[in-house]
Amino acid sequence: MTILVTGGAGYIGSHTTDRLIEQGFDVAVVDNLVTGHRQSVNSKAKFYEGDLRDRAFLESVFTKEDITGVVHFAAFSLVAESMKDPLKYFDNNDYGFIVLLEVMNKFNVKQLVFSSTAATYGEAKEIPITEKTPQEPTNPYGESKLTMEKFAHWQDVAHGLKWVALRYFNVAGAKADGSIGEDHRPESHLIPIVLQVASGKREKLQIFGGDYPTKDGTNVRDYVHVVDLADAHILALQYLEAGHDSNQFNLGSATGFSNLEIVEAARKATKKEIPYEIADRRPGDPSTLIASSQKAREILHWEPKYDDIEKIIATAWLWTEQHPNGFDK
């Protein structure tokens, strides 16, 4: 009985693979390393390098491994890039998902947990955002993920696929011992960029937009620690294993931090000056995203361990200090 993790060499996938192994699961990882790092994958996991859209490759993995469930991360996930190149997103995220769903169906694998996103809600009509808040994405990335949720729904109706979509808010932090962490190239996420400024790798931070309708004019986001997020995937697998119906859950902290507040928290966590300037807005950015994760707490019994933004940033800082070149030696 093996769990297949697609995108298991990526930031969230590597932390989830690690937690699955720690909890005694057998894990096979599929990743084409387009953004991931081979070194980030727990050595006890089997690793298959290849592209999800390569049906023959994927079928060969399902033939070799006794896969009972899939945790699917493999995707592109940059809002700004998706605004410039939408089809890149629909090809990798939606076509890749279709191939995965077809192969799962062929091999009679009926349990799927996959990454959705707060970006499916767009400029939300209500805060905090619940799972019932209308999903109206403001960028192709969010659209590609909403489409995946719809594909999964109809695959359940037609073939009895049981699935859980986890709609993450902003994921941050690193494993507590600093051995794995976030290494995107180029980096586009706020906290790792702030820490690159703290470590002297970048001269200053550009904050995209200072005139949003928020407390200080900068965007507000809800940060969730990557290991808490990893644990939610295991709970979702157990939920499906117990025979429950397909479902969707928001994963966040219910607290919003403005981009300026993140800079302040990072100054405290790192004890470094973090110079910044206010720059133009980044196209596609909603102003405020804050989750209600009540449903995940009640139904999945999810209990995030990190509820303090400074502590979340401190884990990312430990990883940054221990690995100034990321996964490169």
Ligand X SMILES: O=c1ccn([C@@H]2O[C@H](COP(=O)(O)OP(=O)(O)O[C@H]3O[C@H](CO)[C@H](O)[C@H](O)[C@H]3O)[C@@H](O)[C@H]2O)c(=O)[nH]1
Ligand Y SMILES: NC(=O)c1ccc[n+]([C@@H]2O[C@H](COP(=O)([O-])OP(=O)(O)OC[C@H]3O[C@@H](n4cnc5c(N)ncnc54)[C@H](O)[C@@H]3O)[C@@H](O)[C@H]2O)c1
- Per CB under 6 A, residues contacting ligand X are 77, 79, 117-119, 168-170, 188-190, 193, 205-208, 219, 221, 259, 282, 285, 289
Position among 73, 163, 302, 319 found at the interface with ligand Y (CB under 6 A): 73
In the complex with ligand Y, the residue whose CB is nearer, 158 or 249, is: 249
Mapping DSSP onto H, E and C, the string for the chain reads CEEEEECCCCHHHHHHHHHHHHCCCEEEEEECCCCCCHHHCCCCCEEEECCCCCHHHHHHHHHHCCEEEEEECCCCCCHHHHHHCHHHHHHHHHHHHHHHHHHHHHCCCCEEEEEEEHHHCECCCCCCECCCCCCECCCHHHHHHHHHHHHHHHHHHHHCCEEEEEEECEEECCCCCCCCCCCCCCCCCHHHHHHHHHCCCCCCEEEECCCCCCCCCCCEECEEEHHHHHHHHHHHHHHHHCCCCCEEEEECCCCCEEHHHHHHHHHHHHCCCCCEEEECCCCCCCCECCECCHHHHHHHCCCCCCCCHHHHHHHHHHHHHHCCCCCCC
* Residue 206 near which of ligand X, ligand Y, none (CB within 5-8 Å, type-dependent): ligand X
In the complex with ligand Y, the residue whose CB is nearer, 74 or 180, is: 74
Q: How far is the CB of 89 from ligand X (least distance, A)?
A: 11
Is residue 117 part of the contact set for ligand Y (CB under 6 A)? yes
* Residue 311 near which of ligand X, ligand Y, none (CB within 5-8 Å, type-dependent): none
In the complex with ligand Y, the residue whose CB is nearer, 75 or 180, is: 75
Position among 1, 22, 23, 34 found at the interface with ligand Y (CB under 6 A): 34
Q: How far is the CB of 281 from ligand Y (least distance, A)?
A: 19
Active-site entry in 11, 48, 89, 141: 141
Task: Tell me the pairing of strands 67-72 and 2-6.
Answer: parallel
Is residue 260 part of the contact set for ligand Y (CB under 6 A)? no
Q: How far is the CB of 165 from ligand X (least distance, A)?
A: 12
Question: Tokens for 49?
Answer: 């390098």
* Residue 197 near which of ligand X, ligand Y, none (CB within 5-8 Å, type-dependent): none
In the complex with ligand X, the residue whose CB is nearer, 153 or 282, is: 282
* Residue 10 near which of ligand Y, ligand X, none (CB within 5-8 Å, type-dependent): ligand Y
Prior bond of 128 cis (ω within 30°): yes
Helix-helix angle 55-64:96-106, to 10 degrees: 40
* Residue 193 near which of ligand Y, ligand X, none (CB within 5-8 Å, type-dependent): ligand X
Q: How far is the CB of 160 from ligand X (least distance, A)?
A: 29
* Residues from 229 through 258 that contact ligand Y (CB under 6 A): none
* Residue 51 near which of ligand X, ligand Y, none (CB within 5-8 Å, type-dependent): ligand Y
Is residue 135 part of the contact set for ligand Y (CB under 6 A)? no
Is residue 138 part of the contact set for ligand Y (CB under 6 A)? no
Burial of 305 (0-12, 13-18, 19+ CB in 10 A): exposed
Cβ-proximal residues to 247 (8 Å cutoff; 6+ apart), any chain: 164, 165, 239, 299
* Residue 289 near which of ligand X, ligand Y, none (CB within 5-8 Å, type-dependent): ligand X
Position among 77, 82, 133, 139 found at the interface with ligand Y (CB under 6 A): 77
In the complex with ligand Y, the residue whose CB is nearer, 169 or 212, is: 169
Distance of alpha carbon 271 from alpha carbon 269, whole angstroms: 6
Q: Is 141 a catalytic residue?
A: yes
Residues serving a catalytic function are 141
Positions touching ligand Y (CB under 6 A) are 7, 9-13, 30-36, 51-53, 73-75, 77, 92, 96, 115, 117, 168, 170-171, 184
